Amino acid sequence: MKEFNLIRLTIGHYTVYDKRIKYKVMNNECLAEEIKLADGEEQELRTLLDYKEGSIFEQDKQLNIIKKRKEYIERRLETPESKLKVKLLTRGKLINKIFKSKKSETQYFRTSLLMKAGTDSTGIICLYYLITGREEALVEYKKEIELLQENISITSVQLLMSEKGNIESM
């Protein structure tokens, strides 16, 4: 019987040998094993899906936080104070560029004037007053005049005091 792959089935007083029953039993066993394997795979896929959903949820949370920060920054930039700050920063940068260009321009003129003047001291002194400007020279002269006037007034007071002392001692 085993050689022919037959199943022995006794129904009442009759014994039946049937191939179909054996195949059905074997087929059911195979299906049961496949169902077990499918259940295991389904469980694995569910855990992976849960993990991915959690990951997607976390990414969505972070994306929302980033969007909120961006909106906050945009709102802050729309306020008049921030617009004024941006304008001041750009103006400051522009002023620095202009200042640097003027500085390099004056440096160029200084070097060219010094090269034209040569090395004699009077030429350098004249160039110094030309470069620094006449106003600065006038300010220096005024300071010197004020110092000299103070010295003159101090010495005149001292002379008057000494003359009074000489007159009283006589």
Domain extents in the chain: 7-76, 134-170
pLDDT of residue 37: 84
- Which helix H or strand E contains 15, and what residues bound it? strand 14-18
**How does pLDDT run along the chain (170 residues), one tens digit per residue?**
445 566 666 677 776 665 665 566 677 777 888 888 888 888 888 888 777 777 777 888 888 888 888 888 777 777 766 666 677 777 777 777 777 777 778 778 777 766 666 555 555 566 665 666 666 667 777 888 888 888 888 888 888 787 777 777 65
0.75 exceeded by the pTM?
A: no
pLDDT of residue 114: 66
Tell me which residue has tokens 């010197």: 144
- Residues 39, 41: Cα–Cα separation, whole Å: 5
14 bridge partner residues: 11
pLDDT of residue 140: 78
**85 closest CA partner among 94, 77, 97:** 77
As a dihedral over the C-alpha atoms of residue 108, residue 109, residue 111, residue 115, rounded to 10 degrees, the angle is 140
